[in-house]
Amino acid sequence: ATPTALLVGTGRGAQMGVLIKGPEVLESTRKVDTVVLDKTGTVTSGKMTLVEVITEPGVDRAELLRLAGALEDASEHPIAQAIAKAATQEAGTLASAEDFANLEGKGVQGVVDGHAVLVGRESLLAEWSQRLSGEVASAKARAEGEGKTVVAVGWDGAARGILVVADTVKPTSKEAIAELKALGLTPVLLTGDNEAVARQIASEVGIEQVIAEVLPQDKVDVVARLQKAGKVVAMVGDGVNDAPALAQADLGLAMGTGTDAAIEASDITLVRGDLRSAVDAIRLSRKTLSTIK
Ligand code: ADP
Ligand code: MG
């Protein structure tokens, strides 16, 4: 390939909001056949809002929201921000959490007002033998079937209820996925979120392959596994937890709206945080390389 054509290509990319780290990156996009997409913040806006609070019998709704909110106030996760915001709106100033710990890909724990509080995946609470009642568990399944994200809340040794938050698919994601498929690429949705939520979001945007309930440190292994199976993988992500997978992929694309760690680990930054820019990047490289050939 002539360096000039590649340089022209990277220049054109910049005009479209596709920042390419070096001219050689364009060549690696050519062979890509699989596009792994992180869900939260990539396919979806990542801006969650609290839509429902469901308590176990005898639990005070306001107390549940207040304790969960105080704990989540210390976390930067989109789920946490939605909960903290709703709790602040209802309760005013939140208590501060002691002994706060962020359990990557699982949830948070800490002490609020003398209560040992857990907020996160149902499986995290189960590690502490805190189990939801049948009634609350079925409300959880119903909400997840609607594509919403549900986190469980427990304190002092028992599960106390669930909080339902909803994220929304970015308006341009569906169109971008259709275009990726039209280019002959296979999209795969990758997320730490549960299977039901992942399937619902995938069906909204037209993705058939879903890999869900993947812990942050395992995302990189999913990419490596696809590569071992002979796939040439592009990965699109935004989060700190996507960074190793973005670096492992044959082509890493970071949302410009995402974290610095994701941007640093990637070959390409999509300035607008719009999935259609990933399609632009792949089209651009194909065009650039065909002028060279
Ligand atoms: P994703 O891959 O979709 O960006 P993460 O790996 O960050 O998701 O988180 C996976 C799951 O862990 C979440 O869907 C949620 O159930 C739980 N979780 C993670 N962090 C938190 C938190 N701060 N509060 C509540 N739940 C959390
Ligand atoms: Mg993410």
Q: Are residues 26 and 71 in the same domain?
A: no
Query: For the chain, what is the domain count?
Result: 2
204 in Cβ contact with 223 (< 8 Å): no
Give the pLDDT score at 252: 96
Residues 6+ apart with CB under 8 A from 68: 83, 87, 117, 119, 153, 163
SS3 label, residue 124? helix
Nearest residue (by CA) to ligand 1, atom 16, is 121
Give the pLDDT score at 97: 96
Q: Any catalytic annotation for residue 38?
A: yes
Q: Are residues 21 and 109 in the same domain?
A: no
CA distance 267 to 213: 26
- Boundary-marking domain end, from 114, 132, 166: 166
Q: Are residues 212 and 236 in the same domain?
A: yes
Nearest residue (by CA) to ligand 1, atom 7, is 105
Q: Are residues 286 and 205 in the same domain?
A: yes
pLDDT digits (tens, 9 = 90+) for 234-288: 999 999 999 999 999 999 999 999 999 999 999 999 999 999 999 999 888 888 7
Residue 199 has phi, psi (to 5 degrees) of -60, -40
Q: In this prediction, what percent of the chain has a pLDDT beyond 90?
A: 77
Closest ligand, as measured to the CA of 42 = 2
ipTM: 0.92
- The response to whether residue 149 sits with its C-beta less than 6 Å from ligand 1 reads yes
pLDDT digits (tens, 9 = 90+) for 44-59: 998 889 999 999 999 9
Distance of CA 282 from the midpoint of ligand 2 (Å): 21
Which atom of ligand 1 is nearest to 192's Cα?
2
229 in Cβ contact with 211 (< 8 Å): no
Closest ligand, as measured to the CA of 193 = 1
161: domain CATH number is 3.40.1110.10
74 in Cβ contact with 55 (< 8 Å): no
Q: Are residues 193 and 222 in the same domain?
A: yes
